[in-house]
Amino acid sequence: MVTLKEVISKSELKKFVKFPFNLYKGSQYWVPPIIKEELETFDKTKNPAFKTADTWFFLAYKNQEIVGRVVAIINWLEINEQKIRKIRFGWFDFIDDTEVSEALLKKVSEIGQENGLEYMEGPMGFSNLDKVGVLIKGFDHIGSMVTWYNYPYYEKHYEEAGFIKEKEYVENKFPVKNADPAIFTRMNELVKRRYGLKEVNFTKTKDILPMVDQMFDLFNETYSKLSSFTPVTDLQKAYFKKKYLGFINPEYIKFIIDKKDDLIAFAIVMPSFSKALQKANGKLIPFGLFHLLKAKRNSKNVLFYLIGIHPEYQNKGVTAIIFNEYYKTFTEKNIEMCYRTPELADNVAIRQMWKHFNPVIYKHRRTYRKEL
């Protein structure tokens, strides 16, 4: 028999965060989070996502052992401003037992019905900057710090519970040597002259800070038309600035400005921390921080995290400026592989942007939906 318990106390929340460490123990592909960081993500006094969302955390027990977990999320910005009446769920992990997964999903469904919502969708986080999608192909590739990993049996559990595919995501990779610099070097100069644009590079994190709010505003403009989009609030800007900026090498952030010095495009790349996080195994002390700092300085693999271009400048070749700057940086640092975070499979514009690099799709993800 499966028993569900709502997570209330700090000790229960720690059990919630640590459950995947047992579930994926020994996996060479699962990338553990830093426990302290994950606890802060779920701290209602620190994460501003809780200002605009209601959440419920549940642990599933069987024979007095934890066998599953889930977070139910009602994002009120999404419901009240976008009129999308759904309940989200994420951080959904479970043993290969349908009694467990169905009990957790049923609880999410009950909360959605109690709040008069129309359907449930997951796995997904609070916003577009959180992790998204259950892995359905690519189980033999290591995960990343910005994606969830899961066992192959997860897909079966969704379908047996009556869920249908809602959104499809793909992850691509390519060797940096695939890049033909002649293609974007030529376009780079042409686009800069035609539109009066200029690249901005950084060597110090403190120099980026004055422009970070502009970057998030541009992010909101760039992605506002996506069906799954929820805007980043002012409080979230400050939160993400503090949470992520320290992980990113300043030279991996590229800005493009116009004649008025207004930001019209940005891109963010991160070093791959996957192996370092596996070595840290959830802890910064005593050696976790050392592994992370080493990866930040020396990783030969990078993760292309975000790119945003103002709607007025889309399809005008601005990516040539961005790629030209990254090619110079990657060449200088001897970067070998570039991995891209999950992108909607039907996003034709993204595919066109990367076509000259001959990327290979190596992972597929989905969110699943069920009517309430």
CA atoms within 13 A on the CB side of 251: 14
Domains of the chain: 2-171 (3.40.630.30), 174-363 (3.40.630.30)
What is the pLDDT at residue 227?
Answer: 61
Q: Provide CB contacts within 8 A for 368, sequence distance 6+.
A: 121, 122, 134, 158, 163, 164, 165, 166
Other Cβ atoms within 10 Å of 214 Cβ, number = 16
Predicted confidence (pLDDT) per residue in 187-196, tens digit: 889 899 999 9
Could you give the count of Cα atoms lying within 13 Å of 187 in the half-sphere of its Cβ?
A: 17
Neighbouring CB atoms inside 10 A of 212's CB total 16
pLDDT of residue 231: 76
Question: For residue range 34-67, what is the model confidence (pLDDT) as tens digits?
Answer: 999 999 999 999 998 899 999 999 999 999 999 9
Measure the CA–CA gap between 256 and 254, rounded to whole angstroms.
7
Note the pLDDT of residue 263.
93
Handedness of CA 6, 33, 130, 143 (dihedral sign): negative
Q: Are strands 360-371 and 2-6 parallel, antiparallel or unpaired?
A: unpaired
The reported pTM is 0.92
Termini Cα distance of the chain: 24
Q: Is residue 82 within 8 Å of residue 127, measured between CB atoms?
A: no
Distance CA(123)–CA(367), nearest Å, equals: 6
Per-residue pLDDT reduced to its tens digit, 158-186: 999 999 999 999 999 999 998 888 888 88
**pLDDT tens digits for the chain (372 residues)?**
999 999 999 999 999 999 999 999 999 999 999 999 999 999 999 998 899 999 999 999 999 999 999 999 999 988 998 899 999 999 999 999 999 999 999 999 999 999 999 999 999 999 877 899 999 999 999 999 999 999 999 999 999 999 999 999 999 999 999 888 888 888 889 899 999 999 999 988 888 888 888 888 888 888 776 666 777 777 887 787 777 777 789 999 999 999 999 999 999 999 999 999 999 999 998 899 999 999 999 999 999 988 889 989 988 889 999 999 999 999 999 999 999 999 999 888 778 878 888 899 999 999 999 999
